[in-house]
A and B are shown apart, each in its own frame.
Chain A
Amino acid sequence: MSVIQVNGLSKHFGALKAVDQLDFSVTEGEVFGFLGQNGSGKSTTIRMLLSLIHPTSGSIELFGKPLNKYRDEILEEVGAIIERPDLYPYLTAKEHLQLFAKLRNKHVGENSIQDTLVKVGLADRSKDKVQTFSLGMKQRLGIAIALLHNPSLIILDEPTNGLDPQGISDIRNLIKQLAQQEGKTVLVSSHLLSEIEQMATQIMIIHKGKKVADGPIQKLLDPNKMIVHIKTTNDAQTLQIILSGSFSNYLLQRTDGIYLRLPDYEIPLLNASLVNAGVGLIGVETRNSLEDYFLQVTSNTIA
């Protein structure tokens, strides 16, 4: 079942098209990675999913119901953290959870509050005021607020922001646990592509408000198409050889070196053609990471 179904979603701020005709869906139990550069429209999209921003056009359905008609009912099943963790500095961690527990129709008891604090690693700081918290601790508390009422859909915008490596690992494991063991649907946006790569089952990349890629990670990162980084003694001659030959279609537009995306069986052929032309090969590096894929699609290269 689609927990999130978005069709033709657009948001214009005056002449600026922050989000432009976005279509995507998120299935129950998925960890959906939502990627994009700064200003690409991720936060605007997430805010529209949470009814913080009114779409200019398009539709959003959550749990099969239109958001604009069933908003209150839908949001009862959604927990979210949006951008930085802004909280009330004069309240303690526990007071925050008690306060937000009251704003839920589901009963959230003291035990649930305590369990949630333990889950995010704040049990021993529950009585401290938030103004004494580090960024990472505030982030944990924000996640705790999102999880407090046991929602079916969790939307996390930059959840690992400000966390140390251990904290990042904890959140990653928590997200996996929520999806795999508790059957929750999680939509995560992050700049840490390596983290998304480790936990997401499905990703979508948006660039300048438009979707540029989406699908299962395994399919997008096609092992049959490797990204090859060639280091030579003469890059100009190398480029000439590539552009004049059959490898021109594989060349990627990168400014930080010579990159091609080509099937693995073509790599020895490329090597041979360079060597035969007298080009000194320093190194051939093959990569198939999400980061590379991301950079590729957001630099307008055909995948």
Chain B
Amino acid sequence: MKAIISIELYKIFRRPRTYIAFGAIAALIMVIQLGLKMDGHSYASFLMKDINDTLTVDGKVLNGYLICYILLQLLLVHVPLLVALIAADMISGEANLGTLRLLFTTPYSRTQLVMGKFIAASIYTIVLLIWLAFLALFVSMWIFGTDDLFLLKSNYVVLIQEKDVLWRYVGAFVFASFALLTVTSLGFLMSSIANNSIGPIVGTMSAIVFFTILSTLNIPLFAAIKPYLFTTHMNNWKEFFDIKVNENNEAIYGTILNVAKIKTSIIVLTLHIILFVTASVIITKRKDILS
């Protein structure tokens, strides 16, 4: 299995297409960082207009931690599309190239080959996430400095002490890895069905958009299925940045408001990953390789 994973990784990182995602993330992040560095105060003022009517906020609000949060909010909607570019190409891309039949005549079972490909695609996803984390968090910290994290949510504000922030980002990125691996496994499943890459890539993106709409619309008709949709859970990395308060409305250092929500989301996402990958293996085992 190690041999399969190593050659799949080799193939992934030898393809020029792989680096599109890394470049796109770097470009997006740098543009946003540049914009916020040049004119971030206007943006912050706009966000804080309700607060500024009543309170004076003193300190470095627009610091690296807040910038990273803004970046993650924006990018964790778009990064799944970049993940799908590779994941949805893993099997169908080889079928289209014609190399799938070469692979499937080697002395490895189809299960081993499919699992090896999935693990390689997962490693790519994690490397992409680490790249995102490095640029979004550490480069932002370097450019904008650090301070408390002043988070403006839709209905309330959370002020997290500086020392209490970094571990939350570690947790959020670990959570994001589950979310992105769900996308990887979905793309992989689509890839196992088709013989070309366009269909699975578009199919994966369409599925994410479709289910995201179902997850975000507050329509009673969809309320029953929402808890089971992976898109409902993908954004719950934000729960790492909500804090418990005591009876005196004091935020409690080192706490997360709704740990159960995070746990539930991780379980749901993991189940989706298992389901999609298992389906990929079954489909690939049963199909005739005609390409």
Contacts and interface: CB of A to CB of B under 8 A. Distances in A.
Chain A in direct contact with chain B (Cβ < 8 angstroms): yes
B105 A75 contact: yes
Interface stretch (B37-45, B163-171, B283-291): B283-291
| Contact-residue bracket for chain A | 20 to 34
Interface in A64-109: 71-76, 78, 80, 82-84, 86-91, 95, 99-100, 102-105
A52 B288 CA distance: 6
B98 interface: yes
Contacts of A73: 107
B104 interface: yes
Interface string A100-135: 101111000000000000000000000000000000
Nearest to B113: A103
B3 A102 contact: yes
A47 interface: yes
Contacts of A103: 3-4, 7, 103, 106-108
Contacts of B286: 54
Given A53-B290, A86-B98, A99-B10, A72 B105 contact: no
Interface centre among A73, A84, A89, A103 (most CB of B within 10 A): A103
Given A52-B289, A91-B14, A100-B102, A86 B107 contact: no
B11 interface: yes
A50 B105 contact: yes
Contacts of A82: 101-102, 105
A91 B7 CA distance: 12
B106 A100 contact: yes
A145 B14 contact: no
Q: Specify the main secondary structure of chain A where it touches its partner.
A: loop
A91 B16 CA distance: 11
A105 B107 contact: yes
Interface in B1-27: 3-4, 6-7, 10-11, 14-16
A51 interface: yes
B1 to A, nearest CB: 11
B109 interface: yes
A113 to B, nearest CB: 15
A83 to B, nearest CB: 8
A90 B17 CA distance: 11
Interface residues of B, number: 25
Contacts of B105: 50-52, 75, 78, 80, 82
Contacts of A72: 107-109
Contacts of B103: 103
B98 A84 contact: yes
A73 B11 CA distance: 25
B99 interface: yes
Interface string A197-239: 0000000000000000000000000000000000000000000
Interface centre among B98, B104, B288 (most CB of A within 10 A): B288
B77 interface: no
B97 interface: yes
A244 B289 CA distance: 53
A225 B6 CA distance: 59
A90 B14 contact: yes
Contacts of B16: 90
Contacts of A105: 107
B89 to A, nearest CB: 13
Contact of A86 (B14, B15, B99): B99
Interface of A: 47, 50-54, 71-76, 78, 80, 82-84, 86-91, 95, 99-100, 102-105, 145
Interface of B: 3-4, 6-7, 10-11, 14-16, 97-99, 101-109, 286, 288-290
4 A-B pairs closest in CB distance: A86-B98, A52-B289, A76-B107, A53-B288
8 contacts: A78-B105, A87-B99, A89-B97, A90-B16, A91-B11, A102-B3, A102-B7, A103-B4
Given A52-B101, A71-B107, 7 more contacts: A50-B105, A87-B99, A88-B11, A88-B97, A89-B97, A103-B107, A145-B102
